[in-house]
Amino acid sequence: MAKVAAWLAVHLLVLAVAFALFVSWQLRLGLDSLLTGTTGERLESLGKDISASLDDVPESGWGGIIAEKVSPYGLEGLFRSERELGPDAAEAEIPAEIIARAKGELPPPGGQAKPPEAPWHEPRGGPGGFPPPDRGGRPREQREPRALFLTRDPGDGSYWAAIELAVGSPGRGRPPRGVLFLKSDNASANGLFFDYRPWLFGGLAVLAFSILFWAPFVLGITRYAGRISKATGKIAEGGFDTKIGASRNDELGAAGESIEEMSARLGQLLSGQKRFLGDVAHELCAPLARMRTGLGILRESAGGQAERIESIDEDAEELSALVAELLAFTRASSAAVEIETIPLAGICRELAAKELDGHAVGCDIAAGLCVKADRRHLARALGNILRNCHRHAGAGCKVSIAAHLSGNTVNLVIEDDGPGVADEEQQRLFEPFYRPDRSRTRDTGGSGLGMAIVEGSVRACGGKVAAGKSAMGGLLVGISLPRA
């Protein structure tokens, strides 16, 4: 999901940059095209408002009215009459290119092309001393304002708009026609020249629609991938009955079905293996018992062979112990489980007193801390761990038992100050028949099933177990169990 979100963000950033470049190019090269739309309407509406406000007002007050009308847009407004835009017009406030552009856009009196020899303007050239009517027959001074152009000054980067206005009343000596120049430092002019809001809202709407359109598809993929990830994690922990819990008609669905089939097959193979071990161990119990009974009878009448018979009896006892551990190993993961609330401090102290008599044991577990587990499985797991502390760390070792709460999980830590186990062998401690020190005999190393029984018993209780390096110098075994 994080990768999808990051890729979407990059995609949107690229689109935003492309949009900004396009708008910049449009504003630099094609500004006049905006006059055919809402920009032209806004300029002409502003011109109409200013033209109406200038009627019956002395020319000396026009500058203040224009400044008041254009200030909300952050503009500088300059009005120039026809006389002021004569052939020799030149001034510092308006660039020469802008004045020339206004001359080219403003039609001559009468609306007809003027002769080459005629002056550019004839303000009183019409009948009665007023400009001739336009092609529609309306008097020139009564015409509606017209947006002439919108351009950018390449000199200082400012933006200029020009509006043709008919101002004043006939017969009072005021110019009946002129041009209102509007200067802005930016292309927007607070939305008068170019209104970014429709583009912004449109872009946000497209973005929202895209997210709503793609979200179900992306979430469907990521959720199913998450299900597969969780399922494989549970399978790795031994939960071979795990189901993904959803179906899809694509490659992910096929992968999910294959994982479920693989998990079921692995579960069958493992359960068959454990069943075989359990059956073999069970079948070996009876002949072993008869063998030891016969050895006991022979020992009484053996005479000089008593020592040899005693050795055979020790081997038979070792074999009997191995069979018992095999049975315990198979029952650890196959026996019925009865989950109950167990006070952790009580069971730990009870087993420590039994398995570590004479050892220095520290137990730091709160009295009210309880776990959900099967009592027999939990006792078997803790007993094996404490027994290993005595067996491998020595009779004088120190053992620490502590537990702390983490959310809904209780973490139990058992560690000693013995020789410990090499880092590369810690994760293999829970493999059946694995003994870290291969030079040790079964008398010191055991059968290699003790920690495997611990792992099976803890998993049967719904927990996890791991080994590590103890701060005391020896081995650390951590068990995580559900909180009661």
Average pLDDT over residues 151-164: 89
The model's pLDDT over 233-243, given as tens digits with 9 standing for 90+, comes to: 888 877 788 88
Average pLDDT over residues 439-463: 73
Beta strand spans in 82-132 (E): none
Please tell me the least confidently modeled range out of 121-130, 285-294, 428-437.
121-130
Average pLDDT, the chain: 79
pLDDT at residue 333 above 70?
Answer: no
Residue, of 285 and 149, whose pLDDT is higher: 149
Average pLDDT over residues 36-52: 88
Residue, of 395 and 201, whose pLDDT is higher: 201
In angstroms and rounded to an integer, the radius of gyration of the C-alpha atoms of the chain is: 48
Per DSSP, the three-state class of 178 is strand
Strand partners of residue 466: 478
**H/E element holding 386?**
helix 375-393
Average pLDDT over residues 396-422: 91
pLDDT at 110 (0 to 100): 47
- How sure is the predictor about 451, in pLDDT bands with cuts at 50, 70 and 90? confident
CA atoms within 13 A on the CB side of 34: 23
pLDDT at 29 (0 to 100): 56
Average pLDDT over residues 68-72: 93
| Rounded-to-10 torsion of CA 290, 294, 296, 300 | 170
| Tokens encoding 229 | 């990830």
Average pLDDT over residues 16-43: 76
pLDDT at 121 (0 to 100): 39
| Diameter of the chain measured on Cα atoms | 159
Q: Where are the alpha helices (DSSP H) in 237-250?
A: none
Contact at 8 Å (CB) between 474 and 418? yes
Q: What is the pTM of this model?
A: 0.47
Average pLDDT over residues 130-150: 61
Average pLDDT over residues 68-97: 84
- Sign for the CA dihedral angle at 154, 155, 156, 161 comes to negative
pLDDT at 182 (0 to 100): 94
| Tokens encoding 54 | 């200038």
- How sure is the predictor about 436, in pLDDT bands with cuts at 50, 70 and 90? confident
pLDDT at 107 (0 to 100): 65
The model's pLDDT over 86-129, given as tens digits with 9 standing for 90+, comes to: 766 667 788 888 888 888 887 665 444 444 433 333 443 444 44
pLDDT at 447 (0 to 100): 67
Give the whole-angstrom CA distance, residue 247 versus residue 250. Answer: 9
A 10 A CB-CB count for 76 gives 17
- How sure is the predictor about 465, in pLDDT bands with cuts at 50, 70 and 90? very high
pLDDT at residue 417 above 80?
Answer: yes
| Tokens encoding 106 | 């403003």
The model's pLDDT over 158-194, given as tens digits with 9 standing for 90+, comes to: 999 999 987 765 444 444 678 999 999 988 888 888 7
CA atoms within 13 A on the CB side of 458: 26
Beta strand spans in 166-260 (E): 178-184
pLDDT at 437 (0 to 100): 60
